[in-house]
Amino acid sequence: EDQVTQSPEALRLQEGESSSLNCSYTVSGLRGLFWYRQDPGKGPEFLFTLYSAGEEKEKERLKATLTKKESFLHITAPKPEDSATYLCAVQARNTDKLIFGTGTRLQVFP
């Protein structure tokens, strides 16, 4: 069964304190792995798509990497406005649906 597990569930960081969020997945043929940001009461906001092991993508303070079993979202020198829940989702080759993890709730304190 296709599955996504994210860790940690919650993460508290001081402003400027870099860290990484983990997304472990099992999928019957990966079409894509997606990272989204979700603010309270809002819809997921697209961040990155990764398609193959070894691929990396960056956007401002965020960098996503992918291996055959997991993906990391690295946050460098975070700011309070980076506080949100970060969702990981996978799409298998034979389907259009996204399978989401439960997310990592990130809080960045000044």
Partner 1 sequence: EPEVTQTPSHQVTQMGQEVILRCVPISNHLYFYWYRQILGQKVEFLVSFYNNEISEKSEIFDDQFSVERPDGSNFTLKIRSTKLEDSAMYFCATNRESSTEAFFGQGTRLTVV
From the list 20-28, 35-43, 54-62, 74-82, the region that binds partner 1 by CB under 8 A is 35-43
Minimum CB separation of residue 14 from partner 1 in Å reads 26
CA proximity to 34, closest of 105, 106, 97, 108: 97
Cα within 13 Å of Cα(67), Cβ side: 7
Handedness of CA 27, 84, 7, 17 (dihedral sign): positive
52 is a site residue for partner 1 (CB under 8 A) = no
Surface-to-core class of residue 76, CB atoms within 10 Å of its CB (0-12 exposed, 13-18 middle, 19+ buried): middle
63 is a site residue for partner 1 (CB under 8 A) = no
Query: Per DSSP, what are the bridge partners of residue 105?
Result: 10, 85
1 is a site residue for partner 1 (CB under 8 A) = no
25 is a site residue for partner 1 (CB under 8 A) = no
User: Which residue among 12, 97, 107, 109 contacts partner 1 (CB under 8 A)?
Assistant: 97
Binding residues (CB under 8 A) for partner 1: these are: 31-32, 34, 36, 41-46, 49, 87, 89, 91, 95-103
